[in-house]
Amino acid sequence: MRALVTGAAGFIGSHLCYRLLTEGYEVVGFDDFSEGSEENLASAPEAMIVEGDLRDAELLTRAAQGCHVIFHQAGIRSVPKSIEFPRLTTDVNVIGMLNVLLVAREEKAIVVSASSSSVYGDQEELPLHEEMHPKPRSPYAASKLALEIYGQAWWRGFGVRTVSLRYFNVYGPRQNPSSQYAVVVPRFIMACLTGERPEIHGDGDQARDFTYIDDVVEGNILAARAGDRTWGRVLNIGGGRTATSVNRLLSLTSELTGASVEPIHTPPRAGDVRFTQANVARAEALIGYVPKVAIEEGLRRTIEWIRQSPSG
């Protein structure tokens, strides 16, 4: 089996490349290295890497030749960045998905694409389930909803086997702590390790269903092996236990690192939703997805990795 991984040099894509190689797949990675790095790919030296932009349909078509499955992870992945650059976000996330679908149709390949819990926006009830009406509240969330709808249209219209996975706050080793758009887990760990005061947007009671990287990778592998009942669907890929507030995340991180830090509270950020918590029953029923790594254990592993990495 040959797999194309877009966003291969990024956080999730690089873990996926490694896992696919251990499963015996031949792996082609595609990335423009705008966020990803060679360093991330060190654990997947057997992967063939094509450097290029998703919006370059010709190059993507060449990279996808002979692939049975495309794991589409590349994209602009930050809500604040999408507010700053809405046109770029839409271009990369939506036209990028269109290009992936066009080559998948040609190659008769399965497409497992990365969507996001942000498509739910603020809902009246928790946990969030796939029957809820999406209420995106940022260009990023809107682009991910469009990606899902394109996937559904290609299944209904052309029989391209697609499934979109709504990831819930993925964290783990290799997530970039120094990016301008770094997310909360590596930011808190770095603050605790360096003694800097961590920034909390708003009161810190906003909560997230943090999902450990290994569970997300497993979700992708299972989705690629799904059957006809799954194509054209969206599935929640979350931690599936309880949501963790940002305040609790900081106190857990402080405990595990032995640090004592006082946060700085800044105004809430535009586009952020208040609570996310996944109901993963559909993913369990259709693909056998059961998240395994609890937040305490996942944080411990991530702290260990940041401590050992050259920039940690």
Ligand X SMILES: NC(=O)c1ccc[n+]([C@@H]2O[C@H](COP(=O)([O-])OP(=O)(O)OC[C@H]3O[C@@H](n4cnc5c(N)ncnc54)[C@H](O)[C@@H]3O)[C@@H](O)[C@H]2O)c1
Q: Both tokens of residue 237? A: 């890929």
Of 245 and 259, the one with the shorter C-beta distance to ligand X is: 245
Of 43 and 259, the one with the shorter C-beta distance to ligand X is: 43
Q: In what order do the strands lie in the sheet with 162-167?
A: 48-51, 26-31, 2-6, 69-72, 110-116, 162-167, 233-237
Any contact of residue 17 with ligand X (CB under 6 A)? no
Strand ranges (E), 15-126: 26-31, 48-51, 69-72, 110-116
Distance CA 307, CA 312 (A): 5
Any contact of residue 134 with ligand X (CB under 6 A)? no
Binding to ligand X, residues 74-103 (CB under 6 A): 74-75, 77, 92, 96
Region binding ligand X by CB under 6 A among candidate stretches 52-60, 122-130, 200-208, 294-302 = 52-60
Of 109 and 170, the one with the shorter C-beta distance to ligand X is: 170
Among 11, 25, 150, 212, binds ligand X (CB under 6 A): 11
Binding to ligand X, residues 150-169 (CB under 6 A): 167, 169
Distance CA 261, CA 177 (A): 18
Do residues 144 and 135 touch, judged by C-beta distance below 8 A? Answer: no
- Write phi, then psi, for 114 (nearest 5 degrees): -90, 110
Any contact of residue 53 with ligand X (CB under 6 A)? yes
- Min separation Cβ 33 and ligand X, Å: 5
Sequence-separated (6 or more) residues with CB below 8 Å from residue 149: none
Region binding ligand X by CB under 6 A among candidate stretches 9-17, 119-127, 218-226, 253-261 = 9-17
Sequence-separated (6 or more) residues with CB below 8 Å from residue 241: 209, 291, 294, 295
* Amino acid of residue 158: F
* Total residues binding ligand X (CB under 6 A): 26
Any contact of residue 73 with ligand X (CB under 6 A)? yes
Among 5, 10, 162, 295, binds ligand X (CB under 6 A): 10
Of 88 and 229, the one with the shorter C-beta distance to ligand X is: 88
Q: How far is CA 103 from the centre of its chain?
A: 22
Region binding ligand X by CB under 6 A among candidate stretches 50-58, 127-135, 272-280, 285-293 = 50-58
Distance CA 164, CA 193 (A): 36
Q: How many other C-beta atoms are found inside a 10 Å radius of the C-beta of residue 197?
A: 10
Binding to ligand X, residues 105-124 (CB under 6 A): 114, 116
Select the residue whose beta carbon is closest to ligand X and give its number.
10
Binding site for ligand X (CB under 6 A): 7, 9-13, 31-36, 53-55, 73-75, 77, 92, 96, 114, 116, 167, 169-170
